[in-house]
Amino acid sequence: MEKSPFQFQHSYQELDEMFYTEQIPEKVSKPQLIVFNQGLAEELGIQVNQIDQQSLAGIFSGNTILDDAKPIAQAYAGHQFGSFTMLGDGRAILLGEHVTKDGKVVDIQLKGAGRTPYSRAGDGRATLGPMLREFIISEAMYALNIPTSRSLAVVVTGDQVYRERPLPGAILTRVASSHLRVGTFQYAQAFGEKNEIKELADYAISRHYPEI
């Protein structure tokens, strides 16, 4: 296992197991780091200066499982094509919750990291164009002071992803205050009991509104 540049905790796994599934990212053939947000890394206190490019590519592709990572896919529900359905992270895997140098907590998630129990018929992968687009747009929104997720890195996988035509595969490392969704509560209401809904609400309050 690679020494971690993060300071991970895993409070989400303290919730009932209905809310997530442990999931190791699927390996890729030849990861290469092509974009890295050094400013964001410094802002969050992510220590990468002593890690070489090849090792970083392993970390941000999911090929390397960090010593303090506990990868999971999160469950949620919602409406798709007009019908309420079970959803979940079909191609995203949460590595952990990084505690920043000023004590804030942010999720570190790999998007395009492979299949999960929530993938249904999907391949769990992402293509380079959309991952670069999300990187650029999320950082542009941040610069405009619009609350959004942030983008830390993009890795090309060395594998082709088949959409309308073969396209280069990629994985985006996404940073967010959390990945709680309205759909997480919809999932708890539809598939859980009253105590799971309360547990989730208490978690959301403690994570995002500790002052109340």
Phi, then psi, of 191 in degrees rounded to 5: -120, -10
**Residue 190, domain member (yes or no):** no
- Tally the domains of the chain: 1
3-state secondary structure of 20: strand
- Whether residue 191 lies inside any domain: the answer is no
Domain-located, residue 120: yes
Q: Identify the pLDDT of residue 1.
A: 54
Place of tokens 């303290």: 14
Query: Among residues 25, 32, 164, which one has the least CA distance to residue 108?
Result: 25
| Residue 141 belongs to some domain of the structure | yes
Structural domain of 27: 8-178
Phi, psi at 209, each rounded to 5°? -135, 55
Q: What is the mean pLDDT of each run of 10 residues along the chain (212 residues)?
A: 86 98 98 98 93 96 96 96 94 98 96 97 97 98 96 98 97 98 97 97 96 88
Is position 155 within any domain? yes
pTM of the model: 0.95
Residue 183 lies in a domain: no
Bridge partners of 80? Answer: 83
- Per-residue model confidence as pLDDT tens digits over 109-133: 999 999 999 999 999 999 999 999 9
Residue 195 belongs to a domain = no
In a domain, 152, yes or no: yes
Instruction: List, in sequence order, every beta strand (DSSP E) within the chain.
Output: 8-9, 20-22, 32-36, 72-74, 77-80, 83-86, 92-99, 105-111, 126-127, 150-162, 166-176
Burial 99-135 (b: 16+ CB within 10 A, else e): beeeeeebbbbbbbbbbbebbeeebbbbbbeebbebb
42-76 pLDDT, tens digit per residue, is 999 999 988 999 999 999 999 999 999 999 999 99
